[in-house]
Structure 1
Amino acid sequence: MSEAIPLIPRVKLDAEGNLAKFIDHARNDLTSFGANLNFDTDWWDVTDYYSKKGHRNSKQGTITIHFSQRLKEGGAPFCDQVKGFAKAYIRSNLGNRASASFTFAITAFRALNEAIQQLDVQSLVDCDASVFNKAAEFIRAKTDVGDNESAGYMLAKIARYLDEKGMVYAPLHNWHYPRIRKATGGRVGPEFEQRRQQKMPDPAALDGLAQAFHLAAEPRDVLITSVAAILCSAPERINEVMVLPENCEVEQDGKDGRKYLGLRWAGSKGAADHIKWILPGMTDVVREALARIRRITEPAREMARWYEQNPEKLFLPPELEHLRDQDIMVLDKVWQIVNLAPNKRAVRSWMQKAGIPFIYIPFQHPIQGEIQIKAARFADIERHIVNTLPPGFPIYDEGRDLKYSEALLVIPGGLFGNRSDGDGSRCMFEVVKYHHIGCALGQNKLSGSTTVFQRVGIDAEGKLGMRSHQFRHWLNTLAQGANLSQVDIAKWSGRASVHQNVAYDHVSSEEIVTKLREAVGDHAKAIGPLAEIPKNLPVSRVEFATMAVPTAHVTLYGFCIHDFTSTPCEMFRKCLDCREHVCIKGIPDKTQRVRQALEETKQMLVRAQQAVVEEVYGAEDWVATNQAAVNRMEQLLAILTDPTVADGAVVQLSATNTYSLSEGALLDRMHLEGSGTPTLPGAAPRKALR
């Protein structure tokens, strides 16, 4: 019996050829991540590549790309079907982008790797929509809601790229990541409280930070608490603090005759560089924090200035300058230069790790006689230390042409290590890294790192801790609660769009209710019925405000103050027709929804008017209803966009022609019985029943 010969479609053979050529081109011809990149390893260290480009993340630690599953899932390398293409795609498409760009690509490839293995797909060219659907399921199951959108978007880009370049057999140009509904971001319930606690700093930790700022004595503790004080003065990202120039202060005379302090901040995530003005209450704290930082970091800038002028010579402080004339130094002199612990074992260990050869010199011992002791050549010490200058020196941040000698947060090398004293190296500098601040503030305390709170003696049990980004959430929430306009909050935070403010708004429902109650009866804070209080109240103003605003929950356009413990919503969520709905001026997304609702209602009014022309039965009622709605929304929108109305003002809708189910039933009953009035108190006249 003759052997069966499998028939392979020409399209599939072409796809396999295109895939092989693409991988070979990326391996041999491209130079992204360096011409000497070892393409075939399962992880790439690309720190030097980004350092040469002046990328700030390369100054804060190593930058690596791992073509494997996460460690908690075993850390197995990608399968052969995915590995080569993943490397080629990242090198060809993401090599010239920021280091964070490949994070979501790796997440997408991990999901695709799992899908291929689970479905037993033999080659990448065999991937079709079902494989990518399975990969999308893995992304949704193993990433947060916010992250899976980005990883899913990257997965869709990979699918389209495979299709466009002819590297798959089945068409994928129409495949899209199936988006899931994001969390509504409500302000009540355990989910909100958990999210608020994760994003906001612990009040006890904030109090402890204030104490630590005054108690800190060691240079590294002083530095950390001073950086934290700056973060408390403005809602900035930690990477923006890292690139503050040494001369970051700006002073300006205000119209009130007072001097105001500002800092020059480097923008990120699409925002431009800007000057951020410090609140008067924090001015003295920020000045003191900057003065403390400069005292600690000035020796490092002095070293950087020296190496700019003498790139091949070792910097020595004045008290050690005499060692430059010594060709050979005993180990006692070596530890003075590198500021190690006064222990020969520590010096020997350092020299062995550095690859510095020992030499032996004769020494007359009082008991043992002539012996050979270990020493080192000054030239070898000098060569090694000079070679540890950071990549890209003297430029610290290429985008802003900022030198190490001009940066605020450069420190003597080893300031956060185990030197003989707390001043760090006397001959080499480094920059403050993210983990220096993060570990000191306690974000890694579960791993055993000692926090600044423990070091100053106010947290023996290690309970206090926070993350640097929590300061940004905290200050934004304070600004939201203080009725600062959304434009001002975005500018204060250095954002490119006001729509990004909502992710940093953690004002609780209790705080919103309190704010609404404070506006009751106050014409400066409220517009509409809430601004009026009946005369001769039998209860106090506070009790009346509690009854007028029993609760509040978020709606598309503002807040509903209906008491759901008494009745459910009888308006079928027609919030803009409800007298128990309030709007807050200055919330851009909600104002935009009011504007959108107005446009939609205007379109319905036009259709209703056309129906009247066509003599459609009942069209007159729709014209009246939509016209009233348009008038009401135009008035509301005029208030919400009026520059003379302060942001934070509470706007309540006045009487409308729309009634709830119970109100309508009551009026119908009154009309049929011929008793009472045809309207309810505070409501506009209602058309009689036909």
Structure 2
Amino acid sequence: MRPDEASSRLKEFIETWKKYPALLPQNRYEDNAWYIRDAGQLGSATNYIYFSSRNFRPKSLRKDRTNPRPSIIPEEMLMHEPFLSFAKSLIIYLSISKPTVVIAIRLTTIKILYESLLKITGSYCPTKITAEILEQAAEDITENFAPTTSSSYHAQLGQIYRAILSLNLYERSFTWRPPTIKKSRRTRFGEQFDIERNRKLPDPMALEALAEIFTSETSDKCCMVSSAISALLISNPSRVIEVLHLPLDILIDDVEGITTPSEAPGMIWYPAKGGMPTIKPLIAEMAPVVRQAIDKLKVLSQPARLICIWYESNPKSIYLPPILECLRGKEYINYKEAFAILFSGEIRDISRPETARVRNTLRRLEIPFNHTGNQPVKIKFSSLEKAIINQLPRELPIFDPRTGAKFSESLLIQRRQEYRSDIPFNCIIERVSYSILSKSLTTNKKSKNKSIFEKLNYRDRNGNHLTITTHMFRHYLNTLANQTLKLTEEEIAAWSGRKSTLQNSVYNHQSDFDVINILADALDKEKTPLSPFPDMANRNLITHDQFITVSHTAAHVTMYGHCLHDYLLSPCQAAGGCVNCDEHVCIKGDKRGEENLHRYRSELQELVNSARLAFSQKVLGSAEWFKFQLDELSRVNELIYILESPATPAGAIIRPSSISSPSRFEIASGKRSKIHPNLLEEPKTKNLPKE
């Protein structure tokens, strides 16, 4: 394609998509900062995306956490045309063709591509993008982001590449494939696994303490709200942002199609990360706890709900309680009247600290007032009203854009400083934020805010104050669900509000020993003497005729244990590498196999040392050989650790996990990618219909 044709297509693309809304109606295409709070991931702290270089660090122009304004991008940090307009149109185009909630990640990927284009070509024209530039962008992503997050950026880069192809926005045709990030294997035993599990799961003493706080008669509103929300989190595996967006009426006593006791209603649930809205049935034992928690939260949010109802009907007028309606017609008010409007709800004498609080609030909200000499203080009522209206949430009256629920119809709303002051604001409402929960449940010695465990002096076995995070409940319930062996992976994913089962394993903190013990307890050894968990001390030999009836139709003695592969169906797929094969098992108590494993480990250690020496001398091929021997030694060490662990019962079958069987297709694909890293089959794409 000629450069002028590509340039013409680029202009047509930009002109077409600039007519569409810039993600949200309040955004203008011409602006270089777009508001995405209601378009991005639910509960995200990102308010704006900026079409700038990556080294731009936005800062709020004023301290306004409710309605923050965008930062101004210096001219030298703006994207240059035509890439600037291309990036804006591409964001709009992909938001329709490939919707996502991680808009910030998508724009960051575009910025990386912008820098790679400039670095290689010195041009700002996106039609000059080639496979080399995409490869450079992919390398920058790999270098700058951890493997756990880089895959998201690589996926976005692949979507951008396919969009460029489908829209013919290139001067030269090319093909490219995003790199495949190999995920690290998760080991489910050993010291590191125990450390990780203890970090993800809650301390049982913290759960007991929360239960005591929840059932106590405490008058501390912070203790009440945090323990009530914790009760909802422990009732089913939820994300805290889902709880913070719950509607006022979430219980359904009669769920159609679900047989539950009358005391176990269903809960209306809206997953935060793409899962479908659902009704979660409650466990009967948890139903009274959930009802009590919801009742507590309704009582705590009732004052804020009355204010919400006023603003939903009178969005331009400040809320005043009936006793203060006489102030609405006044032109000027004094400190006492201002304190009554802002905080107390009644006109009374105020102390010096209360006077200082009014004065500081007026200054922070930029409300003019005079306080010179002995003259009476004069505060213009209209100025106060306008400043307070500007402090209300931008999205008022809509609380949840997914459902259209209003603030007055939501469970977790508050007056500003409701849980941080004895006298909160009486005219400003907002959401209950995650920071309130985090500071209430997490003990931080460096923080001035005390957790509820510090306030009530709850300590662990080591004498330290207890601590817990909101996500620990989700890990805990998923682990319990796996231990019961009564729910399938699909059911656990649905219960947790996930789109697929791929993330189930991340929340399952069962060790391999836990699984072995559960299976051993569930096995009736008297009826199945040929079970996978035999009693090695009292084993009986069987005849060949008996062996034919066993489920495993092949069993071969190896140096380290037994091979279960059936060679009648296919040859050995592991090329004799028994310790790296998922069809090979070791048995604790098999002295011959254990001695051979120890001997093999000694040999491997010598080979690793030899390979390391050869690598230091830059011998050809030594790097690959060193890596292979090191991986082999690691696998053998894992097997020996399990076999020698006191937690492993005698006669236990040890079978390798998390091993992918060799694939001839993967081997061939790997060899081909080394020869031609970018020459793969061109993906099939199709143009979106022009509007």
Q: TM-score normalised to the size of structure 1?
A: 0.65
**1:121–1:127: 8 Å Cα contact kept in structure 2?**
no
- Counterparts in 2 of 1:504 and 1:538: CA distance versus 1, 3 Å: closer
* Distance verdict in 2 for CA 1:338–1:519, change over 3 Å: same
Task: Report the equivalent of 2:363.
Answer: 352
Please state whether the residue corresponding to 1:57 is helix, strand or coil.
coil
Counterpart residue number, 1:551: none
- Of the three residues 57, 74, 85, the one matched with 2:42 is 57
- Report if the CA contact (8 A) 1:78-1:110 is conserved: no
> Are 1:300 and 1:429, in contact at CA under 8 Å, matched by a contact in 2?
yes
Q: Given the superposition, is the C-alpha separation of residues 236 and 438 from structure 1 closer, same or farther in structure 2, using an over 3 Å criterion?
A: same
Letter in 2 for 1:495: R
**Secondary structure in 2 matching 1:94:** helix
What is the aligned partner in structure 2 of residue 88 from structure 1?
Answer: 89
Change over 3 Å in CA distance of 1:135–1:398 after alignment to 2: closer
Deviates more, 1:162-171 or 1:16-25: 16-25
Cα distance in 1 between the residues matched to 2:264 and 2:227: 23
Q: Deviations over 1:41-65 (max 9, x none)?
A: 4x44444xx3xx7x8837x755221
Tell me what 1:413 maps to. Answer: 416
Q: Which residue of 1 aligns with 2:104?
A: 103
Q: Tell me by how many angstroms 1:110 deviates.
A: 4.2
Which of 158, 161, 165 pairs up with 2:160? 158
Question: Quick one: which amino acid aligns to residue 348 of structure 1?
Answer: R
Q: 1:135 aligns with which of 134, 137, 140?
A: 137
User: Secondary structure in 1 aligned to 2:475?
Assistant: helix
Task: Quote how far apart the aligned CAs of 1:481 are.
Answer: 0.9
Per-residue deviation at 1:270?
4.0
Q: Hey, what does 2:170 align to over in structure 1?
A: 168
Distance in 1 separating the partners of 2:464 and 2:448 = 10
Q: Which amino acid aligns with 1:441?
A: L
SS at match of 1:275: strand
Structure 2 vs 1, CA of residues 178 and 260 (structure 1 numbering), >3 Å: closer, same or farther?
same
Alignment of 1:249-648 (within 5 A): 249-251=251-253, 259-318=263-322, 320-321=324-325, 323-324=327-328, 326-339=330-343, 342-358=353-369, 371-417=374-420, 419=421, 421=422, 424-442=424-442, 450-458=450-458, 464-486=466-488, 487-521=490-524, 529-530=530-531, 567=561
Instruction: Choose which of 48, 51, 54 in structure 2 pairs with 1:69.
Output: 54
Displacement of 1:402 in angstroms is 1.5
Secondary structure of 2:478's counterpart equals helix
Q: Is the 8 A contact 2:240 2:471 kept in 1?
A: yes
Kept in 2, the 8 Å contact 1:33–1:91? The answer is no
Contact 2:6–2:170 (Cα < 8 Å) also in 1: yes
Calculate percent identity across the aligned residue pairs. Answer: 26
Q: Quote the residue 1:364 is aligned against.
A: none
CA distance in 2, matches of 1:446, 1:381: 37
In structure 2, how many angstroms separate the alpha carbons of the residues matched to 1:161 and 1:255?
48
Work out whether residues 248 and 410 of structure 2, in 8 Å CA contact, stay in contact via their aligned partners in 1.
yes
- Do the aligned residues in 2 keep the contact of 1:39 with 1:87 (CA within 8 Å)? no
Q: CA deviation at 1:203?
A: 4.7
Determine if contact 2:275/2:498 at 8 Å carries over to the other structure.
yes
Q: Does 1:223 align with 2:225?
A: yes
Give the deviation of 1:243 after TM superposition: 2.3
Tell me the equivalent position of 1:658. Answer: none
1:484 counterpart letter in structure 2:
K
Contact 2:563 2:583 in 1 (8 A): no
CA offsets per residue over residues 101-125 of structure 1, 9 Å max, x none?
3133134234324534554643444
Matched residue pairs, number?
534
Whole-angstrom CA distance in 2 between matches of 1:118 and 1:445? 46
Aligned residue identity for 2:42: N
In the alignment, structure 2 segments of 5+ residues that lack a partner are: 60-72, 345-350, 540-550, 566-571, 588-652, 654-691
Partner amino acid, structure 1, of 2:492: I
Pair 386,485 (structure 1): closer, same or farther in 2 beyond 3 Å: same
> Given the two structures, how large is their TM-score scaled by the length of structure 2?
0.65
The 1:94–1:527 alpha-carbon spacing in structure 2 relative to 1, beyond 3 Å, is: farther
Could you tell which deviates more after superposition, 403-412 or 244-253?
A: 244-253
Deviation of 1:429 (Å): 1.7
CA contact (8 A) 2:228 2:297 kept: yes
Deviations 1:199-232 (A, max 9, x none): 4345554455445545654213321221122101
Partner AA of 1:181 in structure 2: K
Equivalents in 2 of 1:464, 1:113: separation in Å?
48
1:295 CA displacement? 1.4
What is the DSSP-based 3-state SS (H/G/I as helix, E as strand, rest coil) of the residue aligned with 2:402? Answer: helix
Q: Secondary structure at the match of 1:259?
A: coil
* Partner AA of 2:357 in structure 1: A
Stretches of structure 1 lacking an aligned partner (at least 5 in a row): 1-9, 362-367, 545-556, 582-651, 653-690
Contact 1:252 1:259 (C-alpha < 8 Å) held by counterparts: no
CA gap of 1:453–1:375, structure 2 versus 1, over 3 A, is farther
Contact 1:32–1:92 (CA under 8 A) maintained in structure 2: no
Q: Describe the superposition over 1:617-664 as per-residue Cα deviations: whole angstroms up to 9, x where unpaired.
A: xxxxxxxxxxxxxxxxxxxxxxxxxxxxxxxxxxx9xxxxxxxxxxxx
Cα–Cα, structure 1 residues 33 and 437, in superposed 2: closer, same or farther, change >3 Å? same
The equivalent residue for 2:180 is: 179
Instruction: Say if 1:186 and 1:20 are closer, same or farther in 2 by CA, change over 3 A.
Output: same
In structure 2, what is the equivalent of residue 605 of structure 1?
A: none
Describe the SS at the equivalent of 1:136.
helix
CA distance in 2, matches of 1:267, 1:180: 28
Q: Report the counterpart of residue 599 of structure 2 in structure 1.
A: none
Aligned mates of 1:36, 1:348 — CA distance in 2: 35
Between 163-172 and 470-479, report the one with greater CA deviation: 163-172
Task: Give 1:97 deviation, angstroms.
Answer: 7.9
Instruction: Give 1:392 deviation, angstroms.
Output: 4.0
CA distance in 2, matches of 1:100, 1:563: 54
Secondary structure, in 3 states, of the residue corresponding to 2:249? coil
Q: In the alignment, is the contact (CA less than 8 A) between 1:521 and 1:532 conserved in 2?
A: no
Cα contact 2:459–2:465 (8 A) shared by 1: yes
User: Which of 6, 12, 30 is the equivalent residue of 1:15?
Assistant: 6
Paired residues of 1:126 and 1:169 also in contact (CA < 8 A): yes
8 Å contact from structure 1 (residues 442, 449) kept in 2 = no
Per the TM alignment, residue 327 of structure 1 is displaced from its structure 2 partner at its CA by: 4.7
Q: Secondary structure at the match of 2:113?
A: helix
Amino acid at match of 1:275: I
CA shift, 1:272, in A, is: 2.9
The answer on whether the counterparts of 2:235 and 2:286 sit within 8 Å (CA) in structure 1 is yes
List per-residue Cα deviations over 1:162-190 (Å, max 9, x = no partner).
Answer: 33434333323x31202122223332345
Whichever residue aligns with residue 176 of structure 1, its letter is: R
